[in-house]
Amino acid sequence: MHDKTSLNDPRKLYPAPPFPDQPQPAPGLAHKMDPVPDHGEQSYRGSGRLTGRKALITGGDSGIGRAAAIAFAREGADVAITYLPDEEADAKEVIGRIEAERRKAVALPGDIKDETWCRELIEKTVSGLGGIDILVVNAGRQQYRETIEELSTEDFDKTMKTNLYALHWIAQAAVPHMPAGSAVVTTASIQAYQPSPILLDYATTKAGIVAYTKALAKQLIERGIRANVVAPGPVWTVLQPSGGQPDEKVKNFGKDSDFGRPGQPVELAPVFVLLASQEASFINGEVYGVTGGKGVT
């Protein structure tokens, strides 16, 4: 844990590679990572910026979604999280963190590749929280394939369904419940702008998320709802060792950032809080890069 009130060299705030070998089967569990990611469990301090708000975060069990869930609860929001049933152990920890802040927590295990479930989870969120005014579509699938020949139709389909179709289904179901003043935040990636050759399908979906959200923002502002994108660079999440990158790349993950290390999920949380809050009242259709200096152009 780092004291956020004192000056610290950002290059030395968190662990730098090389990291231990740690392959996991997808979808993976954050608490099995070495080092364990910092989602803000000890370090994030809230200041009431989301008091009384009602948020849904997809992929809220680990990684960036978990950091957003903890931050939102500490800022005063009630929070629902979606996750795969295999991620129950991580999700229970997050639900406990939300409830420790005396906020409502709704656990939504299921597979967002299923359109019916995407629509059901909105109904469960609305009934569980008494409404919805923050939607964070963050859950993602990333499985590297070395060559185009190795990228099967099944792979491509799973990535498209998880990263793009689910975004559409969930947003389509949520928007009618969202009042003016609400906010949508999506998670893209530096891969939308600087795609890796081994992430053909993933990079394609992340570019799609940017375009979809920018178009959605123009639609929704007519209802008084803002929509924006966060585009992370290398962030230390379980997506990486569970098939998102080859083992050798996991060992050196984040080494080529300006900081010589990957970002930690908690380092993205303040951006999600800003975009969800009323402080971002004149921010719409923007892409916020948190890339360790790589940029999003």
Indicate which residues carry an active-site annotation: 202
Euclidean distance between CA atoms 188 and 206, whole angstroms = 5
Q: Examine residue 262 and say whether the peptide bond preceding it is cis (omega within 30 degrees of 0).
A: no
DSSP type of residue 75: T
The residues pairing with 82 across neighbouring beta strands, listed in sequence order, are: 58, 108
Euclidean distance between CA atoms 215 and 83, whole angstroms = 27
Rounded to 10°, the helix 115-129/166-174 angle is 40
Order of strands, edge to edge, in the sheet holding 78-83? 105-109, 78-83, 54-58, 134-137, 183-187, 226-232, 287-290
Provide the 10 A C-beta neighbour count for residue 111: 16
User: Coil, helix or strand for 105?
Assistant: strand
Number of H helices, E strands in the chain: 8, 7
Residues 209/192, Cβ–Cβ less than 8 Å: yes
CB burial string 121-144: b at 16+ within 10 A, e below: bbebbbebbeebbbbbbbbbbbbb
